[in-house]
Amino acid sequence: MALLTILEFPDPRLRKEALPITDVDDSIRQLADDMLETMYDAPGIGLAAPQIGVMDRLIVLDCVKEDGEELRPLVMFNPVVVAASDEVNVYEEGCLSIPEQYGEVTRPEVVDVEWMDRDGNAQRERFDGLWATCVQHEIDHLDGKLFIDHLKPLRRQMITRKMQKLKREMARK
Ligand code: K1U
Ligand code: ZN
């Protein structure tokens, strides 16, 4: 197992579209396990492959938040939202690639997602609550989309400028 480095906005790799996975083999299963370890360590509730610089359509998530409740690590290859409710939900989202910045994002409250699991089997499940928010946030990463793209222009600009300034300061150190 290995901890991976999480890319930070405005890294251009976060804006690229990831490619479909054709073969679920041991190397991609190992990558998924390393991503889960990295996500739990961060700590976070989700992680998408482009966030660690791998342009494959792979996400991991576990939105179990209660202490003592059994973990539910999910690994999804080629996830797709196949149905979404008209009802929406507003959640103050964060992102491991945009540290310490938050914003209210409106998304469908309930989504049906299809994906391929670690054994190459097709899966379909309905998600609601934080699971629905998180799976949509992670699938957005696969299309080069970030939660700030859902915010009002002024808030998005504020976060973008803060992150650009932080990057310049880090480069000077
Ligand atoms: O994709 C990511 O950057 C991970 C991100 C997922 C996410 C958070 C909030 C709403 C939608 C999607 C995070 O995990 S940020 C960290 C976080 O939310 C968290 C960390 C520890 C405990 C609980 C939440
Ligand atoms: Zn994110």
Per residue in 50-99, pLDDT (tens digit) is 999 999 999 999 999 788 899 999 999 999 999 999 999 999 999 999 99
Residue 154, Cβ density class (10 Å: 0-12 exposed, 13-18 middle, ≥19 buried): exposed
- Dist. CA 32–CA 52, nearest whole Å: 11
Residue 10 has pLDDT above 90, yes or no: yes
137 φ/ψ angles, rounded to the nearest 5 degrees: -60, -45
Per residue in 12-59, pLDDT (tens digit) is 999 999 999 999 999 999 999 999 999 999 999 999 999 999 999 999
Query: What pLDDT score was predicted for residue 65?
Result: 78
Confidence of residue 142 (pLDDT cuts 50, 70, 90): very high
**Atom 11, ligand 1: which residue's CA is nearest?**
134
- In this structure, the residues whose C-beta lies within 6 A of any atom of ligand 1 are 43-48, 65, 91, 93-97, 133-134, 137-138
- Dist. CA 130–CA 133, nearest whole Å: 5
Model confidence pTM above 0.95 = yes
